[in-house]
Amino acid sequence: MDLEEQTLEKTGDRCEVCGAKLTGAELQLALETSGPALCTVHADEVVPLDDVEAVEAD
Ligand SMILES: [Zn+2]
């Protein structure tokens, strides 16, 4: 078993879009927004999943 890998696999460790390892700042942003774990590139492109439909209706 690879315990180190399990530790790293916990929520929000990698970008959910491209799978890139997140930096500390990117991880913190994901925690602060309670949003999906996203790298800087995809965090800038993807809106929070909470109200996607509301955003479209705007
Ligand atoms: Zn990404």
Residue whose pair of structure tokens reads 């492109």 in the numeric block: 45
Distance of CA 11 to the CA centre of its chain: 9
User: What's the CA-to-centroid distance between 21 and ligand 1, angstroms?
Assistant: 9
Q: CA–CA separation, 55 vs 29, rounded Å? A: 20
pLDDT for 36: 87
User: What's the CA-to-centroid distance between 43 and ligand 1, angstroms?
Assistant: 7
Q: CA–CA separation, 47 vs 10, rounded Å? A: 22
How many other CB atoms are found less than 10 A from the CB of residue 35?
17
pLDDT for 5: 58
User: What's the CA-to-centroid distance between 46 and ligand 1, angstroms?
Assistant: 10
User: What's the CA-to-centroid distance between 23 and ligand 1, angstroms?
Assistant: 11
pLDDT for 45: 79
At 36, phi and psi to the nearest 5? -65, 155
User: What's the CA-to-centroid distance between 24 and ligand 1, angstroms?
Assistant: 14
Digit-coded pLDDT (tens) for 4-58: 655 544 556 899 999 999 999 999 888 888 888 989 898 887 666 666 565 565 6
pLDDT for 21: 94
pLDDT for 11: 56
